[in-house]
Structure 1
Amino acid sequence: MSPLLATANHTGPDLGAWLLLAIIAAAGYLLHSVIWPYRACHKCQGAGRFRSPSGRAWRYCNRCGGKGAQLRTGRRIWTHLKSIDRDRR
């Protein structure tokens, strides 16, 4: 078989396998978010506060409110899905 003919017989990427892989990855992330709902704040690296410019005082992080952690997107999705299920009943 010539290389040109072998190339012509190629059907393309298997989209079913990629879709299955994407579904497994999304389910894995959702499970990860259910087990560990919080992540470290990106702005303060989980400390929850910053030193003032003078270096003598602390100020709280505006993004996380001084907690040092933020709720993951996957956990927000999980909570929304649970509230839809709860409202349906």
Structure 2
Amino acid sequence: MSPLLAAASHTTHPTGLWLLLVILAAAGYLLHCVIWPYRACRKCAGAGRFRSPSGRAWRYCNRCSGRGAQLRAGRRIWTHLKSIERNRR
């Protein structure tokens, strides 16, 4: 048996460390969504409006309704979980 094959067959994967990192990343994102619930709209880059082709007028962004911000997916999940908890009482 070659030394490489023997070394490869006895390696262990630290799954506990990866699980801890995933949990910490999820908790960090959840905290981020609680503190900053909105992100800049991707379509209008947070401006909320576009210039018309003539350049004289403005039109509002359809995706964010002219606000320039959209609710993050994590914040939607957080709000849903809080409403489930509220409805259980």
Tell me the TM-score normalized by structure 1: 0.91
Describe how 1:1-89 pairs up with structure 2 within 5 A. Answer: 2-11=3-12, 13-89=13-89
Distance across 2 between alignment mates of 1:79 and 1:4: 51
Give the CA deviation at 1:63: 0.3
Give unpaired runs (5+ residues) of structure 1. none
Gaps of 5+ in 2: none
CA separation in 2, counterparts of 1:84 and 1:70? 22
Instruction: Quote the offset at 1:5 in angstroms.
Output: 2.5
Question: Identical aligned pairs, as a percentage?
Answer: 76
Figure out how many residues of one structure are paired with residues of the other and give that number. Answer: 88
RMSD between aligned alpha carbons? 1.5
C-alpha offsets along residues 17-76 of structure 1, whole Å, 9 cap, x if unaligned? Answer: 111111110111011000000000000010000000111100000000000000001110
- State the secondary structure of the residue aligned to 1:33: helix
Measure how far apart 1:3 and its partner are: 4.1
Return the TM-score normalized by structure 2.
0.91
Query: 2: distance between equivalents of 1:50 and 1:25?
Result: 36
Cα displacement (A) at 1:16: 1.7
Q: Please list every run of at least 4 consecutive aligned residues from structure 1 whose deviation after the TM superposition is greater than 6 angstroms.
A: none
Supply the distance in 2 between the matched residues of 1:4 and 1:48 (Cα, whole angstroms): 59
